[in-house]
Structure 1
Amino acid sequence: MRFRPLPEDPEQGWTPYVWLVYLGFVFMYPALARASALQWGLTLAGVAVFLVLYFTAHWLRDRKVLWCIAGILLLGMVFAPVNPGASAYFIYAASFIGYAGPPRFALRGLVVILAVALLETWIFHLPSYFWFPAALFSLLVGGANIHYAEVSRANSKLRLAQDEVELLAKTAERERIARDLHDLLGHTLSLITLKAELAGKLLARDPERAGREIREVERISREALREVRTAVAGYRSQGLPAELARARIALEAAGVKPEYFAEPLELEPAQETALALALREAVTNIIRHAGAATCRITLEQTAAETRLEVRDDGRGGSAPEGIGLASMRERVEGLGGRLERRAGTGTSLSIVLPRRSGQSAAQEGGGTLREETA
């Protein structure tokens, strides 16, 4: 199993490695003072212990992280009298205090760290270039991380709630499909079974009536097939207007402001289904991954093509296509259209479908663009 110094956390990423740059202050004083080999050895040993505590702290939360904070703080207390650069250890200790508990508890811990730094300054008469950065940056970094940790805890609760809602929605959808299938096929299959049995019994003594029963079985089977196809089409998409309404509700529930710019469209059923499913997938991706504040949905049509664009102002990025986006691309290209995805400041997804020769071009130059904002 591959060793990982840090847990997987998309919000945190590689930034913990960047903050290690402040260890340079620990090495600065020995370098300027031309420290002895013993002093260098002790400094390196202290840094090694710190790195173990530093990376371990990223795996811990709540009261457990206090052990790592105490260890880092102890390093600062031990090295401060001989190395003013040890003020960095106090700052690192303060940076983790936000993860030790709720804000009120974390603030009390931050006060303790500041008090220890000032007390050690008073006892050992340490210079201002130790206590000033230790106090100032511990206060700034610690306070900022207390707020960040609280936001992170709130986001975790929100993700758990969203997962639970999604699970409940899937369960309800499965139950609905089960009910629909029972209602659609339960009675029909029972009737087919009875008529097939009756036809088998009549085959020898009344072939004409048996033939009528077989034709009735065929008629009922075709009717059942038609009902199943209708039901499946309903599961796949309930049309573009319904999907737009569903997208608006979902975006608002996720705290994303929806903006609509739409004009009247003339679409073939297959095209409407493709656009509705594409809109559903795009909105789902925005809610789950984009971290956006606004989502802009544009629907427009010319004599040659129909265009759907879904744009957000989220984090963007060039993540590889998932199954949903790949399926969307296949569906659009199967209709002769194209899908374009652009990422920068946010993400833009454009779907263009050609208009068939049989479709009316009445909207050309005559459609009035309607703007709806929520």
Structure 2
Amino acid sequence: MTGNDNISSARESKWPWIWLAYTGFLFIDPILEPNRHIWLGTIAVFVTFLALFFGYVRATDEGRPLRFWMIGATFLLGLVTFPWNSGAITFFVYVAGFLPFSVESKRRVLALFFVESLAILGETYLFRAPGPLQIGWPNAIIGIFLLIIIGGGNIFFAEQKRAECKLRAAQEENVALAAVAERERIARDLHDVLGHTLSVIVLKAELAGRLIESDPQRAVREIADVETTARTALSEVREAIGGYRSQGLTAEMERTRKTLQSAGVALSCESPVPQLNASEETVLCLTVREAVTNIVRHAKATQCRIRFARSEDGYHSLLITDDGNQPRIREGNGLRGMRERVQSLGGRLSITTSPGVTILIELPHTTDTQNDLTPSTHSSEIKAPFVTT
């Protein structure tokens, strides 16, 4: 949307018609010097101008180039009327009033004002001699004066309108972008949270089905875990709608251990769980969750290794590898969301598939991160290194 279109859409539907008050100047000469021909000519000119004015307002509201033709026709109407009716000055005033709202360039508007003034002076020179068609120099000077005063004022108002409309458009765009970003965030959170939780529910339900005859008591425990996990999923969906907040890397690692253990995958963590700020922890937690979900669903792996470290260039790194057989990786919503989260913090993400799948996430060090590689104090259950089978 251009600045001109913004002005057109912001204008109210009624206020332009107030400008018709200037047409009262047309009737001064017929009233002071009653003459049937002048009256008929004035009425004809007035009706013609009403049509032009209506066309200009309609064209402006709809953002059509037809408005420039209306302005040109109004100026020509003034030139035709000025020699026999000095009130035609009003048409020059209308042109000066319309131009700033129709042409965005101030320099171009001023140039058109200059051309209009020259045309008025030229016509005055041609009809300076006394007769039925005569233009007095005082009338021409008054017309140019009004043109400059009203046109200059409208330049200011047009620029103010244009600035207001641009500001309003920017605000609307910001609101739209914020809505899109929020929808994308909710979609990523729901995918990462529900994808993992539903995978756990499926695993435990399948395990309970296999154990229901051979080990009924354990099957009952697995079904109870399914219920607990489903309730957790409901709570996490509510959190995702309002803005997901992780419970910490330590809690996420414990959840990861249980999930992989249910799937028969051994987990080894070769380094302490670092303590990071909230945004970094949330990104790494959801990254671990998505990676573990993919391992359970697709990898057919028996081993998973997770390692936290600090790279030479000051980045926190998270390495997740498995020994599964997944020769080709297709980046779907989960991996795309993972990449967007990492990149939003200025981090790097790389995925390789030989052998198994290796995911490397690197996040830049921030000043508010303390005790970067010290074990998290959220829980004492996870010590490093640890191995589960």
Residues 93 and 146 in structure 2, CA contact (< 8 A), matched pair in contact too: yes
Aligned to 1:22: 22
Among residues 61, 66, 88, which one is paired with 2:68 in the alignment? Answer: 66
Among residues 196, 200, 210, which one is paired with 1:201 in the alignment? Answer: 210
The alpha carbon displacement at 1:12 in A equals: 4.3
Aligned residue runs from structure 1 range 12-91, under 5 A: 12-36=12-36, 38-58=37-57, 59-60=59-60, 65-91=67-93
Q: Deviations over 1:175-230 (max 9, x none)?
A: 21122112222111111112112222322343222211111111112222233333
Amino acid at match of 2:182: E
The alpha carbon displacement at 1:87 in A equals: 0.8
Task: Return the alpha-carbon distance in structure 2 between the equivalents of residues 65 and 8 of structure 1.
Answer: 11
Among residues 221, 228, 245, which one is paired with 2:230 in the alignment? Answer: 221
Aligned residue runs from structure 1 range 115-194, under 5 A: 115-125=118-128, 126-127=135-136, 130-194=139-203
Q: Deviations over 1:252-305 (max 9, x none)?
A: xxxxxxxxxxxxxxxxxxxxxxxxxxxxxxxxxxxxxxxxxxxxxxxxxxxxxx
Aligned to 1:105: 108
Higher mean C-alpha displacement, 125-134 vs 11-20: 125-134
Structure 1 101/180 Cα, relative in aligned 2: closer, same or farther at 3 Å? Answer: closer
Aligned to 1:342: none
Aligned pairs, number: 228
Q: Deviations over 1:342-367 (max 9, x none)?
A: xxxxxxxxxxxxxxxxxxxxxxxxxx
Aligned residue runs from structure 1 range 321-332, under 5 A: none
Normalising by structure 1, report the TM-score: 0.55
Aligned to 1:320: none
Task: Return the alpha-carbon distance in structure 2 between the equivalents of residues 79 and 35 of structure 1.
Answer: 15
Task: Return the alpha-carbon distance in structure 1 between the equivalents of residues 183 and 148 of structure 2.
Answer: 52
The alpha carbon displacement at 1:70 in A equals: 1.8
Residues 10 and 165 in structure 2, CA contact (< 8 A), matched pair in contact too: no
Aligned to 2:248: none
DSSP-derived class of the 1:28 partner: helix
Ranges in structure 1 where 5+ consecutive residues have no aligned partner = 1-6, 236-374
The alpha carbon displacement at 1:30 in A equals: 1.0
Structure 1 31/129 Cα, relative in aligned 2: closer, same or farther at 3 Å? Answer: farther
The alpha carbon displacement at 1:91 in A equals: 0.6
DSSP-derived class of the 1:34 partner: coil
Residues 81 and 88 in structure 2, CA contact (< 8 A), matched pair in contact too: yes
Task: Return the alpha-carbon distance in structure 1 between the equivalents of residues 89 and 8 of structure 2.
Answer: 29
Task: Return the alpha-carbon distance in structure 2 between the equivalents of residues 230 and 168 of structure 1.
Answer: 22
Aligned to 1:212: 221
Task: Return the alpha-carbon distance in structure 1 between the equivalents of residues 238 and 29 of structure 2.
Answer: 78
Higher mean C-alpha displacement, 108-117 vs 45-54: 45-54
Task: Return the alpha-carbon distance in structure 2 between the equivalents of residues 120 and 8 of structure 1.
Answer: 33
Q: Deviations over 1:75-100 (max 9, x none)?
A: 11111111111111111111112223
Ranges in structure 2 where 5+ consecutive residues have no aligned partner = 1-6, 129-134, 245-389
The alpha carbon displacement at 1:39 in A equals: 3.0
DSSP-derived class of the 2:26 partner: helix
Aligned residue runs from structure 1 range 174-323, under 5 A: 174-234=183-243
DSSP-derived class of the 1:82 partner: coil
Task: Return the alpha-carbon distance in structure 1 between the equivalents of residues 139 and 29 of structure 2.
Answer: 11
Aligned to 1:312: none
The alpha carbon displacement at 1:20 in A equals: 0.4
Task: Return the alpha-carbon distance in structure 2 between the equivalents of residues 182 and 87 of structure 1.
Answer: 69
Task: Return the alpha-carbon distance in structure 2 between the equivalents of residues 29 and 194 of structure 1.
Answer: 95
Task: Return the alpha-carbon distance in structure 1 between the equivalents of residues 65 and 238 of structure 2.
Answer: 57
Higher mean C-alpha displacement, 66-75 vs 146-155: 146-155
The alpha carbon displacement at 1:64 in A equals: 5.2
Task: Return the alpha-carbon distance in structure 1 between the equivalents of residues 21 and 111 of structure 2.
Answer: 27
Q: Deviations over 1:17-61 (max 9, x none)?
A: 11101111112211221121x432222221122122223223246
Residues 186 and 241 in structure 2, CA contact (< 8 A), matched pair in contact too: no
Aligned to 1:94: 96
Structure 1 97/232 Cα, relative in aligned 2: closer, same or farther at 3 Å? Answer: closer
Amino acid at match of 1:113: E
Higher Cα radius of gyration? 2
Normalising by structure 2, report the TM-score: 0.53
